[in-house]
Structure 1
Amino acid sequence: MPNALNLALKAEMRPGAGLLIPGAANALAARVIEEAGFRAFLVTGAGIANTFLGVPDVGLVSVTELAEHVAAMRDAVNLPMIADGDTGFGNAVNVGRTVRLLERAGANAMQLEDQTFPKKCGHFEGKDVIPRDEMVQKIKAAVDARQDQDFQILARTDARAVEGMQAALDRANAYREAGADMLFVEAPRSLEELAAIPKGAPGVHICNMVIGGKTPLLPAAELGAMGYAGVVYANAALQASLLAMQQVLGHIHRNGSIAGVEDRIMMFEDRQRMVRHDHYKALEKRYTLRDG
């Protein structure tokens, strides 16, 4: 039976669509994304590392921890989901297992990148990449491992920072030929480089708008006009919530009261609505035994 969310993601991800794709670090963030009206989201590996472990994005999250987060998000929302599979957690054989785990957990696509292990955030310095042919084999393994042919493989290259833009484009073309459904050239550094990517490596591309990162921040409409299918804000929600927590808790610590920052707090009723408290109250009522 066809997976409806796999098909929905394929329909949305077309060159020029400029689909906005926010990132979620946990199931609660995924609920906020769904409520806001977005049509797809990314499970952010950096976000999981930051929120779950309190560490930077340097390859410390395990594949089973990632799969558990994906499964929790799938239970929470009914949106197409792209899971960040980092480097696949090993060689081509490991990649196959990673694909199967994430597909079974409820992802509709998996991002696979060509960094060496341990990987680093795409906008950190000091990255390195594996040989292009090795990544080609990992992509082939990912394609072979998926159970549903509509489960998409998103191939990311970080070669721009290591080998230059032309090498990154060459890699993207090779990854598409190896079977990747979508492409992602990470961390271009100018408007000219952004525009060159969909032209130099035709296919279904996403780009990553990192607040404070190396890539110029452009509106989705402008990026769509360049040919991008998806525009990812992988950690905008995380950065916004982190700043709000810091500001509100700092205010409480300094003043001994919440007074003065109430407008930065979601009210109790809205919080319960966001986590569907009424749904669980109805379930409890439905299954409660009654005398007589």
Structure 2
Amino acid sequence: MADPTLKAALRGGEFIVAPGIFDMISARMADRMGFAALYATGYGTVASHLGVPDAGIATFTDMVSRMSRFAQGTRTPVIADADTGYGGLLNVRHTVQGYEAGGVTAIQIEDQEVPKKCGHTPGRRVIPAEEMALKIEVAAEARRSDDFLIIARTDARTTLGLDEAIRRGKLYARAGADIIFIESPESEEEMRRIGGEIDAPLLANNVEGGRTPILPAETLKAIGYNVAIFPAIGFLSVARALEGAYAHLRRNGDSHGLETYAFSDMNELMGFPEVWEFDAKWARPERSQAAE
């Protein structure tokens, strides 16, 4: 079931900073940091699971199992990317029910045409706003708990302009979305307009090297935002670390002098102490001793 603490935090005026997770190592690492929410990135999850671009290739079946594992393997509420809802209205209902049953707390659905594309890449096209509003209505009706939050994302800014993106954000809020996500504003001024004109909780997407300026949390809160996600921070950091580590190994033929995460710490992160404790509790005498 959805974790009620995320909705309570938003209602209480807390500004939510959510790091991107993309596999269970990143999920477990972020889970211990004390964040109010984790953001399960579609880009990172598709890249790590399938090794392909975030371009509508992954299916509902691919994603619901991953998103459910993130939610079930952590204690922190999980906000999960669900692309376009993986199809039409019936697909949206099925997606919401699947994600909620898997333990996800908030689901993000966007108004792109199928196949969708990553929000900070070119070539994105959107469906009619009224069609997306119906998807949001279906999503809101399909959830079993009001603690399960619906995030409506519009990608209209890049192709249709900011005015249309703001219009869609207002429409999606009226349709029942709990949080509005205007993707890819291109300046702080645009973000201030969004915060000033949309009377609903707002999400800022912070992608290192992306189209949107990354503003401090204090500034985002002051101009009307409530949530800041950092979807790429995990997989970009890991990619840089792996590039350096593998280059070191190729260059030197060994790992001497390479700074890595401690193997003992990784054992602890993955839960090996519990396995060892279980083994010790249920250890059986040796066969030879049993024969005596």
Whether these two folds match at TM > 0.5 is yes
Name the residue aligned to 2:133.
136
Deviation at 1:254, TM superposition (A): 1.1
Q: Does 1:113 align with 2:110?
A: yes
1:271 paired residue among 266, 274, 283: 266
- In structure 2, the partner of 1:101 is 98
1:175 equivalent in alignment to 2:172: yes
Q: Distance in 2 between matches of 1:225 and 1:254?
A: 49
Which residue among 156, 161, 164 is the counterpart of 1:164? 161
2: CA distance, partners of 1:75 / 1:283: 21
SS in 2 for 1:155: strand
Paired residue for 1:34?
31
Residue matched to 1:45: 42
Offset, 1:134: 0.3
2:277 is aligned with 1:282:
yes
Q: Secondary structure of the equivalent of 1:125? A: coil
Q: CA deviation at 1:27?
A: 1.8
| Match in the other structure for 1:60 | 57
Q: CA deviation at 1:26?
A: 1.5
Q: Displacement, 1:14?
A: 4.5
1:11 aligned onto 2:8: yes
TM-score, normalised relative to structure 1 = 0.94
Greater relative contact order (CA < 8 Å, ≥ 6 in sequence): 1
Superposition TM-score, scaled by structure 2 size: 0.94
1:126 CA displacement = 0.8
Encode CA deviations 1:20-76: one digit per residue, 9 max, x unaligned: 101111122111101222121111111111111111110111111211112221232
Residue-by-residue CA offset, 1:183-208 (whole Å, 9 max, x unaligned): 10000000101111121111111101
Aligned length: 287
**Mean alpha-carbon deviation: is it higher for 143-152 or for 208-217?**
143-152
Identity, in percent, stands at 36
Q: Distance in 2 between matches of 1:49 and 1:177?
A: 31
Describe the SS at the equivalent of 1:110: strand
Relative distance call for 1:192 and 1:280 in structure 2 (3 A) is same
Counterpart-to-counterpart distance in 2, 1:137 and 1:215:
28
RMSD: 1.6
Whether 2:194 is the aligned partner of 1:197: answer yes
Amino acid at match of 1:98: T
Whether contact under 8 Å (2:40, 2:80) holds in the other structure is yes
Does the residue aligned with 2:32 lie in a helix, a strand or coil? Answer: helix
SS of residue in 1 equivalent to 2:20: strand
Matched with 2:243 is 246
Contact 1:165 1:193 (8 Å CA) reproduced = yes
* Superposed displacement of residue 17, structure 1: 3.5
